[in-house]
Structure 1
Amino acid sequence: MALSDDQLDRYARHIILREIGGGGQQKLLRSKVLIVGAGGLGSPLALYLAAAGIGTIGIIDDDVVDLSNLQRQIAHGTADIGTEKVKSAAKAIARLNPDVRVIDHGERLNVANAAAIIGDYDLITDGTDNFETRFLLNDACYFAGKPL
């Protein structure tokens, strides 16, 4: 897959790096990353991964945007209050980079769904805010052989 002219411009800073180059950027565009939690950690992570050109970003969170979130959860804005965080983050990603496909999982990660959800991704990132989910995520990634 050749990079388009727009992609060459968008990712020029990566492409000129010897460690990444055009081939590395194409690999990023083919990669799939899951973000668990769209709050204070997951929100900026989603934007940075989108800006870098990660091809598919999955986001799992069961919460909605609240006014108290806005001072630290930068993917969300005032107009997003009351919106599911996964939908709000997906809109922010789409504004930032149309190359990125977003899969929103508007649910809570739990024992019943963890293996099925993480199985579709190359890399799993932890943006959780509680130890129960963090431990579950660690175990699920360990047993699935997925990098966390």
Structure 2
Amino acid sequence: MNSDQTQPTRIEDEAACARLCVDFANHLDARRYPEVLDLFTQDGSLDRMGTVFAGRAAIEGFLDARPTGMTTRHLCTNIRVHFDDGADEATGFCYVLFFQGSAETGPCIAKGPPSVVEYHDRFSRTSSGWRIQERRIRMAIQG
């Protein structure tokens, strides 16, 4: 919060929403699934290439089903946040360069070239701060 104001500024709100994009990628790659879940509203949804996981329990099921032998890295860029008419809702967009490999001993071995996906988000301000209400992941460039 800004020391001169009781409400966060638009720049602080934008930074908080952009941070959700980066935190999602970092927590997902590190398999910190409770932290991934905390980025979503209680009724939030994750739409991965047309398969929708609605609510935290469904998102948790998706995360728990990720192959344990897979290593991923998601690099977020071109993050844009747009605020709707109300101060507590926003939409977002970013490109994500996605790498995948096997988690053998030693350095990870990439499985093919990277892909680019897009995150299309709806953010909501909650009593716990900004959270992802909806994330739609769409393939932009298949590796």
After TM superposition, the score normalised by the length of structure 1 is 0.25
Considering fraction of residues, name the structure with more strand.
2
After TM superposition, the score normalised by the length of structure 2 is 0.25
Considering fraction of residues, name the structure with more helix.
1
